[in-house]
Amino acid sequence: MLDPSYRGTALADVASATGVAVQWHAGYRASVAALDPAYRGPGPVRLAARIAGQGTLTPARMGPWRARGVVDARTLKQAWHLLARFGRDGSTSAGRVTEERRPGSGS
């Protein structure tokens, strides 16, 4: 199960190469303005703003920050909590899943 922000990325290619159908959930996206500092504090909101840059906060933007190890893991986790709380895509049904099958998979 992948977030749609990973479509077209190396991670999605690796997942597809396993031979297992890749499923996509509705997705998480948030503008920094949508994040409420009262939820997890101002530090995670500042970090979310750094991660988002001039764009939108998504799981695909957050992933590399964890891998780099240059930010406090707890603050990054709290930034993820902000994304999960305030970044649900309201234009799709909750829990909606789409599936892509590999050509020739027979299913």
Q: What pLDDT band is residue 35 in, cutting at 50, 70 and 90? A: very high
Sequence-separated (6 or more) residues with CB below 8 Å from residue 92:
26, 27
In this predicted model, what pLDDT tens digit does every residue of 39-50 receive, in sequence order?
999 999 999 999
In this predicted model, what pLDDT tens digit does every residue of 66-93 receive, in sequence order?
888 889 999 999 999 999 999 986 443 3
**Calculated CA dihedral for residues 17, 19, 23, 24, nearest 10 degrees:** 10
Question: Would the pTM count as exceeding 0.85?
Answer: no
Q: Which letter, b or e, does each residue of 57-75 get, where b requires 16 or more Cβ atoms within 10 Å of its Cβ?
A: bbbbbbbeeeeeeeeeeeb
